Structure 1
């Protein structure tokens, strides 16, 4: 069990896991300053441009990009040999598709790379296998304060939601404010970027001689805590080798190990959608570039009657250094309770219709109530920390 000191550290937001100023200065400061210089603005100045979907979404800003979006390939769950009772779409993963314009990406970088904001929210990544990675979570909207207005508006705009939902094959909505546009950052020196070890490990994994466990990764093998994610690339990938997302397909009869397949990584401003709550995947560490920064937003089905298999395996504040205890859990409870209310309202609507017709389907009503009860129970069960999790937490501290 955790000591009182560790419990206090968790509730304080893991200050011991904050990214130090020296790391920011060594790895990101020059990129931020170069971006500001190109715009002729001073450090710390807020982005003055407001999000405009017809200017900042590639689909509307460029006819050629619209054609690329419409032609984007998607791999089905069936193609991945995965049949999951909790899947909410037949789409498993998409190829990269055009999402935000270069100007939009530059404004986003200007917002989240502000030194004061970055050092306030950046934490070391809890499941990195390289030890040099960080993330920012819950920085877009902290309680009722929107810290990064452009990023917030870009991800929550109905036109953006429509494009992501269409690519996912199901109408989606953002899970909660804490899951808007969290940032994953892989940092290394130019010398480290040239190391051959990473490429060799990747080659072994894809040749069939490995089950993928030896792939150096920004984020190790995992299933996401939420049904769908949209992963946006915000780094220049022209010199990047690798950086693709790798998926584990379902095993066929007789397979000793699950096949590992790469899905092409998006270039800057492009994105992929992934039904990550049902598909095990990894974000390999790229070579040839000193940074790989992605922005990830998590979604669930907008239809409250569809499955919501959200869990807290990778995001609960005790485990994920970037999830703030006093912000995350209230948001989690709020979103879950609101969905329960929606489901209860739907049940009462059905009962009203049945009553007008002089009928009552007891079995159906009981099944719905049992489902709602199980969903509510899972809400607090997901907040619990088991002994195995406590062991990992203690070992990481």
Structure 2
């Protein structure tokens, strides 16, 4: 009923998800690991030679263009997820100057020393850089201008899931990573078919794609049909509701390197359904940083939900309206599920767990 505390969404009715999010399969390793792949010194030196600039949206945000959006209902997933938008075609997000600054931070000494990880999904990645190591990158992704572009493309107001998930950078140098990545026999894919752990992702190309062929995103529909979204060019991005869409990244051939920057997003409103989990992140992270950030935003959402419920209950008493037992139980059940999910995601690692040095 309108105004009931059981309704926990500020999103349009069509965006409310009656279906549970799919099961996510994460990396099979038990401990975080460093990559063995070597990044050519030429690439590192080029990145570090870029003069330092502060984030400036007037200079670093790409001119706005029309975004082509594909709907969930068009791929057989109407009613799933938190938005009617499934995925976009690539559209400009960052200028070449912005990408240069981001690459400068990705290939900085401290980031390469402390923030490199690998898994059986991706053999060479940088993640968890943090604002101290990568101020330009973090100022960019948290800027109102970029958040507005991403949210408009997604059809719902979004924010980065939390700082650790800003700019997860997948690095491939002339396909040198291919033998280490599990693709289950599919020689055309860079990563196996999977669901993401976060509601939305924004995948931005941070490399010159001249001479590159492939790199599309493949989507598998419920009926088994496959569709492809063309690969992005440097500075352009694809926004996708990856928590609810079965997808894979196809290999790119040609070009010197492929550097894809993936930032995970969640709903900004605490009242929108949020099925964020840590399955895909836990063993490719410093959990001493990952867990507190995850729990902080979850507690913040719960705080806002209970505050509004209390306000509504006080108003009900003043207005002498009948207490709605069904609505209250629905509200409490939803919060219980949210707490249980949080509890399931934050647990003590196995006794043989070995963290990496920061």
Q: TM-score, normalised by structure 1?
A: 0.75
Structure 1, gaps ≥5 residues long: 1-6, 42-46, 60-65, 196-210, 252-257
> CA-to-partner distance for each residue in 1:15-55, whole Å, 9 max, x for gaps?
xx2135xx44xx33202323445x4x6xxxxx3x1111111
User: 8 Å contact 2:184–2:192 — kept in the other structure?
Assistant: no
Listed one character per residue, the Cα deviations across residues 289-315 of structure 1 (whole Å, up to 9, x for unaligned) are: 232111111111112221111122211
Q: 1:105 to 1:97 in 2, by over 3 A?
A: same
Deviation larger for 345-354 or 92-101: 345-354
Task: Please give the per-residue CA displacement for 1:231-274, whole angstroms capped at 9, x wherever unaligned.
Answer: 110011111110111111121xxxxxx11211111100000100
1:306 is matched with 272
1:352 to 2:324 alignment:
no
The DSSP-based 3-state class of the residue aligned with 2:209 is coil
Unaligned 5+ segments in structure 2 are 1-28
Q: 1:185-215: per-residue Cα shift (whole Å, max 9, x none)?
A: 12236xx79x9xxxxxxxxxxxxxxx99624
2:166 aligned with 1:180: yes
State the Cα distance separating 1:385 from its structure 2 match.
Answer: 9.2
Match of 1:324 in 2: 286
**Which position in structure 1 is the counterpart of 2:83?**
89
Matched, 1:99 2:126: no
Change in Cα spacing, 1:380 to 1:342, as seen in structure 2 (3 Å) is: same
Q: Which residue of 2 aligns with 1:127?
A: 121
Equivalent runs, 1:1-397 vs 2, <5 Å = 10=31, 14=32, 17-20=33-36, 23-24=37-38, 27-37=39-49, 39=50, 47=52, 49-59=53-63, 66=64, 69=65, 71-85=66-80, 87-128=81-122, 133-141=123-131, 146-188=132-174, 214-251=186-223, 258-317=224-283, 322-359=284-321, 360-383=323-346
1:79 partner SS: helix
Distance 2:234 2:263 in 1: 16
Greater percentage in helix: 1
**The residue matched to 2:125 in structure 1 has which SS?**
strand
- Structure 1 stretches (4+) deviating beyond 6 angstroms? none
For residues 294-341 of structure 1, the C-alpha deviation after alignment (integer angstroms, 9 at most, x for no partner) is: 111111111222111112221123xxxx21121111211111111111
| Greater relative contact order (Cα < 8 A, sep 6+) | 2
Count of paired positions? 320
Given that residues 203 and 238 in structure 2 are in contact (C-alpha distance below 8 angstroms), is that contact kept between their aligned partners in structure 1?
Answer: yes
Give the whole-Å Cα distance in 2 for the aligned partners of 1:214 and 1:295: 23
Deviation at residue 111 of structure 1 after TM alignment: 0.8
C-alpha deviations, 1:153-208, integer Å up to 9, x for none?
0000111101110010001111111111111112236xx79x9xxxxxxxxxxxxx
CA distance in 2, matches of 1:272, 1:185: 17
Check conservation: 1:186, 1:218, Cα contact below 8 A: no
The question of whether the paired residues in 2 share the 8 Å contact of 1:135 and 1:183 is answered with yes
TM-score (norm 2): 0.82
C-alpha distance in structure 2 between counterparts of 1:378 and 1:36, whole Å: 41
